[in-house]
Structure 1
Amino acid sequence: MVPKDLLHEWVMESIISLPGFLARYFPFCAQHQILQAIQRQLETHAFCFLQRWLPSESLAAGWTCPEALELHKFFRLLEVHQGKVKDECFQLTWSTLTGWRRVISSIRHAAVHRIPHDRKTFLKMVRAAIKFSKCIAGFESSKRLCRIQKFVKTSVSEFDQLRAQLKHNARLQISLGEANPDHLARRLVLLPEAVRRVLQSVEDDFVSKVKQFLHAEFKST
């Protein structure tokens, strides 16, 4: 028979090692949906920018609609034709804009190739998208991305609270098992799987909220 203290230690380690309890965890399904939405917004803003300032160059590149545009190639085109953009604000922020190139390009790459990122990297992508949008499309056009950012922050906070409560309840169950007879303590072996299922339910609810938000936000487009 496994000693009680080792059993309790194993149970808790099994629980806290679940992917959903990692500090930087962000549900991939939700992340992917958000990045896809952001990608479409950025492509639309980039296409409108080119239609205003570099229409012939955009047509020559084969970009006849936002969906045809590729963000990493957008930066290449701007590098070549930057001087043709007669917008003082753009020229002043050009160096800053190029500094976001890698992050903005990675948004499309992650959305298209379904590449997961940790929470810190994902939130960095959202911030860069807003700055990029403000630079080429203006403050008004970036409001939708700002609403996405606000929603993400609120939802993540709620998600973290539920995760913390679930972990607290698991610790409580383990501590109760320490005072119970052996035949009850052995039931703790089933606790990690029970916690995993509840955690999955919490994650599913989170993903569902993201889907509903994006549907409401983009239903008119």
Structure 2
Amino acid sequence: MYNPSSFAIKDLPDMQQQILATRLAILVTHGEQGLQASHIPVLLDAEQGPNGTLYGHFAKANPQWKELQNGAEAMVIFAGADAYVSPGFYPSKAEHGKVVPTWNYVAVHAYGVAEVFTDAHRLLNLVSALTDRHEASRAQPWKVADAPADYIDGMLKAIVGFALPIQRLEGKRKLSQNRNAADIAGVREGLATSPDAQDQALAHLMR
């Protein structure tokens, strides 16, 4: 991605934190079928490999997993909060008027070549870990073991898992760093007073 140095995230733990904070990632490949993208939840093992390893699964009916099996490089996009930045937020608008709209956002891109697997025990561990993560905040978390074993066995036959060691990471945190202090403060205040939750999240990051 286009990533000027003033916006680049250099710290590995910071990028891994954004991965962990993203509930639904976008996995993109380019192979014999052209560009393909799937929206999938993934798990990060931050300690496995120099940049961590991503785990997830596809429906077996989704042909994209075959691109991974054939060795296609994957890009996994982890999008954080984003917000429209109005020129009206800038004090410099009143001074010279030379301002235009833009967007502030946070994003991390992970790249690598994945291993595909269909082993039932490994898939069960994966879907159990994904379920436990996303059910953790519920008062009565649902467990994979709550469903009949034969039903789960059938569901596991309908998915394909993958492990993707992250070979390269790019992180971008565009928070008006290219503006002067007054304009940055104006953007922060404008977003903080917005009723939109993502705007408020961006304002918090800008603090």
Bin for the TM-score computed over the shorter chain: under 0.3
Higher relative contact order (CA 8 A, sep 6+): 1
Quick check: which one's helix share is greater? 1
Comparing both structures, which one devotes a greater share of its residues to strand? 2
TM-score of the superposed pair, with normalisation by structure 2: 0.21
